[in-house]
Structure 1
Amino acid sequence: MADFALRRRMMVDTQVRPSDVTKFPIIDAMLKVEREAFLPDALREAAYSSENLDLGEKRVLLEPRTLAKILDALNISGDQLVLDIGCAYGYSSAVVARMAQAVVAVEEDTAMAAEAQSVFVESGTDNVIVHEGPLADGAEEHGPYDLILIQGGVEQLPDAIADQLKDGGRIACLFMEDALGIVRIGYKTGGTLSWRFDFNASAPVLPGFEKEAVFAL
């Protein structure tokens, strides 16, 4: 039987801490949330690998380093409402839920959303709302949000998502530019987002977050 607790500790010690992520709430959450519980049986053995895990249909579970550095940059506090887009089976939302007041987890795949809800119930995670619907639509009815994170690549951020961020709020986006991915943190002031570079990473572009095709005659 796999010793997942040991693998969790190794993940933190070899992937998270060496990436300059040392904030206690992040380390604590990533040590306590059972990553393997938020994956299909066939992927559980690979739960703590240092790569994005392929969930099919251009969806991945982001590698631990990428998620940890995004959480570090967003600097979540216990009074904040967080929108987690593309939560898949719910791992990222479970980690964020240990740091935030509440999380709205958006998932458009019905089976993934149902499984995430089931694992939240089993694990006693009671401050996450699973919202089933198109990822690019977010979850306006529960917003506006203090923080937004997106579990996959972005070529173009939908206006609907930007509009759901509170003024003074922050959003993390992994912008894919050809093969290169850049995580930027957006700060909303006076209704406008300004972006700063944070680190390099990579992930498939999520459905609904592609650049609009431009047709030239």
Structure 2
Amino acid sequence: MFDFSVARRRMVDCQVRTFDVTDRALLAVLEDLPRERFVPEDRQVLAFSDQHLVVSPDIEHGRFLLAPLIFARMAQELGAGAGKRVLDVGAATGYGSVVLARLGANVTALESDGTIAARARDLAAEFGEGRINVVTGPLEAGWKAGAPYDAILINGAFEAEPAELLSQLAENGHLVGIDHDSGAPKAVIIQRAGTAFGSRTLFNAPAPVLDGFRAPSGFVF
């Protein structure tokens, strides 16, 4: 029988720790939380593999969980501590939202797929310690009703600037996502200071572009 607890420990030790993730609280949550519950039953043995994992019926274009090491490093950079207001964009089945909630954040989990959001809502009720509000709407629009946010996490890549999300950041708040606009995709952190925003590259991070964050198609002659 497949031992999920052993697989989670190996995921943390062999993938996450080796990618400069040192936050002890985060590592403890990743080892304790049953990631396998957030993926379809027929893919549970893949839940700990070093790859982005589709969790919706549409394998080619569906919603996914980021690879464990990429998600963990982004979550560490996000700094979602006690009482922080966090918007989790492209929450899928809610794995990342639960991780952030267990670190003490108050999380708004935004998902555009109603079926996936329903699954996230069930899992949030089971594992989220009452700190997660799952909402449904266009990812690129964010969720104004919960703004401003201390931190925003985009669970995937963006080609177009996430301008509406940036507008929903609190003063000194920051957004972490994967910039696919030019060159190699890279995780970035963008911080707000008044009406200005500063960006810093974190690490290379290949990931699919989320719906709603694709660059407009140019004219073809």
TM-score (normalizing by structure 1)? 0.94
Aligned-partner SS, 1:180 = coil
Equivalent residues in 2 for 1:61-210, closer than 5 Å = 61-123=65-127, 125-177=129-181, 180-210=184-214
Aligned-partner SS, 1:204 = coil
| 1:34 is the counterpart of 2:3 | no
Structure 1 vs Structure 2 CA RMSD: 1.6
Distance in 1 of aligned mates of 2:153 and 2:179: 12
Distance in 1 of aligned mates of 2:101 and 2:185: 26
Distance in 2 of aligned mates of 1:112 and 1:206: 15
Q: Is the 8 A contact 1:175 1:181 kept in 2?
A: yes
Residue 212 (structure 1) aligns with: 216
Q: Is the 8 A contact 2:160 2:181 kept in 1?
A: no
Aligned-partner SS, 2:5 = helix
Cα distance, 1:158–1:197 mapped onto 2, change above 3 Å = closer
Q: Is the 8 A contact 2:174 2:190 kept in 1?
A: yes
Counting matched residue pairs gives: 217
C-alpha displacement of 1:79: 2.2
TM-score (normalizing by structure 2)? 0.93
**Residue deviations 1:73-110, cap 9 Å, x none?**
12222121100000101101011111133000000111
- Counterpart of 2:154, as a letter, is I
**Residue deviations 1:170-202, cap 9 Å, x none?**
110201146721011001001221100100111
Cα distance, 1:158–1:28 mapped onto 2, change above 3 Å = same
Residue 23 (structure 1) aligns with: 23
- Counterpart of 2:65, as a letter, is L
Residue 49 (structure 1) aligns with: 49
Higher RCO (CA < 8 A, seq sep 6+): 1
% identity of equivalent residues: 35
Distance in 1 of aligned mates of 2:83 and 2:172: 14
Q: Is the 8 A contact 1:58 1:205 kept in 2?
A: no
- Counterpart of 2:31, as a letter, is L
- Counterpart of 1:197, as a letter, is T
- Counterpart of 1:190, as a letter, is G
Q: Is the 8 A contact 2:101 2:128 kept in 1?
A: no
C-alpha displacement of 1:143: 1.1
Distance in 1 of aligned mates of 2:158 and 2:62: 12
Unaligned runs of 5+ in 1: none
